[in-house]
Amino acid sequence: MTSLVDNDDERGAEIPNRQVLAFMFRHWIEEPGRFALILAFMLGSILCDLTIPWATRALVDTVGRADHPVDKAWIAWATLSGLYLGYWILRLYMFRLSNGYYSRIMARMVTRAFRRVQDFSSDWHASTFAGATVRRVGRAMWGYDSASDSMLWGLIPTFIVLAGLSISIGLHWFWAGVFVAVLVTVFAVYNVAMINLYIRPANLAANALDSGIGAALADALSGNAVVKSFGAEDREARRFEAHVDRWRNAQRRTWNRGNNVGLGQNLMMVALQAGLTGFLVHAWSKGQATPGDVAFAVTSFIVMAGYLRTFGENTRNLQKGLDDMSDVASYMRTPPQLADRAQATAFRGQSGAVVFDKVTFGYDRQAYPLYENFSLAIAPGERVALVGSTGAGKSTFVKLLQRLYDVDEGRILIDGQDIAGVTQASLRRAIAVVPQDPNLFHRTIAENIAYARPEATMEEIILAAKRARAHDFIARLPLGYDTAVGERGVKLSGGERQRVAIARAFLADAPILVLDEATSSLDVETERQVQAAMEELMAGRTTVVIAHRLSTIRHADRILVFEGGRVIEEGGHFELVAKGGAYARLNAVAEALA
């Protein structure tokens, strides 16, 4: 059995850190004034931190003087205390400003990711676990929070403070400054190298398995009816537990590697403490340093140690945040697979004349094109039925008509307009589709009907429901049109979902109608009601019907028999039966099974 993590969708995006950092930085500078103010508070707090060792040195030297200068001692004390107070006040306001700034960026990030994913092609969505995508987008939002905190409030201040203290120490005790600078540089290089080469691979593997948890949840919960019908709850629970166990082991490996890296960090911190204070004690023993200088060295180490202790953690959190954002950063760098042309105009047709003009098209996974030099014309208002075996090209015809895929060669015209030159949204508003299994949103019935035209009035929604033979069953519901239908419409029967979809199509009032085997799964009585509603819906519209039940298309103006991406027969029902060809054989089988 193939595991979820074996799917290409579950490996996650591994793009260079610089690209994810650029993605994060673009979000920072969208509010330049707020960003600059936050940086000003941050730099102010860093300046206080850099000055504290010098203020400590001044206080210790003052209180150690033989002349006992009390006033100067209190001034030195006030200076040191003021620096501590200033540090915390500046950081407090820095974080208060950041709260609104961060939340707005996170909101923009998740909404833009949603828009981009919505723009991706139907083929992309068919190949991608929806649950994994949900997990990735949510993880990126919090990954930004973690990475920004680590960068702005952790690593940038750390580099400034460590560089500043190394320079200030070196100005007074050259070799001590060199020692600090070298050790801090080794510490930084060690952390960055270990996190990129040792921790990041484990983290990416854990992220992929984390996405798989969302995929596994969505896969099992969306198929809950099938699970229950086979009494497979325990089996699904065991399958999910096995996946969670794989994630748990991967996450533990990531954390353990972090602890391993921490051992080297701690050893270097001990070396820094011993070396820096050792330099100053040696200088004091030679009469080259005062007690205040030693206090300066100790305080400098305490300040540096505070930053170094969090340096490794901040570096790990930054890398984890970048890894968490990498999928969404990859989404934002990936152009939609099917985009509007630069000069695309709105579709303006009304009659519904359809022309396939020498169209060649093949799916990426196929060695040969399905359609090759395919031409077909459908007159305005004509009812055309497409029949044929699975894979013959019927559904592809409709997908190309909606421009869910672009043709490889040739063109498709609707009312004389090349559909590749109009906006996708305006084109699809001109084509109403009633699928075999209507997908309703977990919203009210009124909202589902109005999805075709959100600005519709309640009177227009009710009229559409009446024309779709849906009003009576809706009126019997306790909340009527305010009834929530459940995820994918599971609270409604198949016939009720079909009639809501037909009401939606009535409200769309599009010139072209596509009926994709819309009555195949209904009982006889419900089928009659739905068929009557569809007859009214088809009136005056160009209609394309995909049918397997041939009894539903006897009155079509033209029946097209597809085979291998070609139309091998066309005509009326009785004409094709009389020919004794492929359609006649399909009809004979259908009558035998009836």
Average pLDDT taken over every residue of the chain: 83
- The CATH code of the domain that includes 400 is 3.40.50.300
In this structure, the answer to whether residues 396 and 350 fall within a common structural domain is yes
Span 39-52, pLDDT tens digits: 899 899 888 888 88
Span 178-228, pLDDT tens digits: 888 888 888 888 877 887 788 778 877 887 787 777 777 767 766 666 666
Average pLDDT score over residue span 506-518: 86
584 is a domain residue: no
Is pLDDT of 141 > 80?
yes
Interatomic CA distance for residues 446 and 592, integer angstroms: 42
168 is a domain residue: yes
In this structure, the answer to whether residues 279 and 372 fall within a common structural domain is no
Instruction: With cut-offs at 50, 70 and 90, classify the pLDDT of residue 568.
Output: very high
Q: Which among 282, 303, 333 is the end of a domain? A: 333
The alpha carbon dihedral of 25, 29, 34, 36 has a sign of positive
In this structure, the answer to whether residues 503 and 522 fall within a common structural domain is no
590 is a domain residue: no
Q: How far is CA 468 from CA 440, 486, 496, in A?
A: 16, 21, 10
In this structure, the answer to whether residues 406 and 544 fall within a common structural domain is yes
Return the amino acid letter for 219. Answer: D
Q: Which among 287, 312, 333 is the end of a domain? A: 333
Q: Which residues contact 204 (CB under 8 A, 6 or more apart)?
A: 12, 14, 323
Task: Give 544's strand partners.
Answer: 384, 514
387: nearest Cα among 149, 572, 114: 572
Span 333-375, pLDDT tens digits: 888 777 888 888 998 878 889 999 999 999 877 788 999 999 9
591 is a domain residue: no
In this structure, the answer to whether residues 255 and 377 fall within a common structural domain is no
407 is a domain residue: yes
pLDDT given at position 518:
65
38 is a domain residue: yes
Length of the chain: 594
**Number of domains the chain is built from:** 3
- The CATH code of the domain that includes 169 is 1.20.1560.10
In this structure, the answer to whether residues 56 and 187 fall within a common structural domain is yes
In this structure, the answer to whether residues 287 and 198 fall within a common structural domain is yes
Interatomic CA distance for residues 303 and 168, integer angstroms: 13
Span 57-106, pLDDT tens digits: 788 878 777 777 888 888 888 988 898 899 889 988 888 888 888 888 88
pLDDT given at position 5:
36
Span 398-457, pLDDT tens digits: 999 999 899 999 999 999 999 999 998 899 889 988 887 788 888 899 999 998 888 999
Q: How far is CA 319 from CA 14, 42, 199, in A?
A: 12, 22, 9
In this structure, the answer to whether residues 440 and 413 fall within a common structural domain is no
Is pLDDT of 9 > 50?
no
Average pLDDT score over residue span 118-132: 76
Identify the domain containing residue 412 by its residue range.
Answer: 341-430+510-568
In this structure, the answer to whether residues 68 and 209 fall within a common structural domain is yes
588 is a domain residue: no
In this structure, the answer to whether residues 37 and 102 fall within a common structural domain is yes
Q: Which among 491, 508, 525 is the end of a domain? A: 508
592 is a domain residue: no
In this structure, the answer to whether residues 92 and 159 fall within a common structural domain is yes
pLDDT given at position 222:
65
In this structure, the answer to whether residues 480 and 561 fall within a common structural domain is no
Using the CB atoms, write b or e for 228-261: b if 16+ within 10 Å: eeeeeeeebeebbeebeebbeebbebbeebbeeb
Is pLDDT of 6 > 50?
no
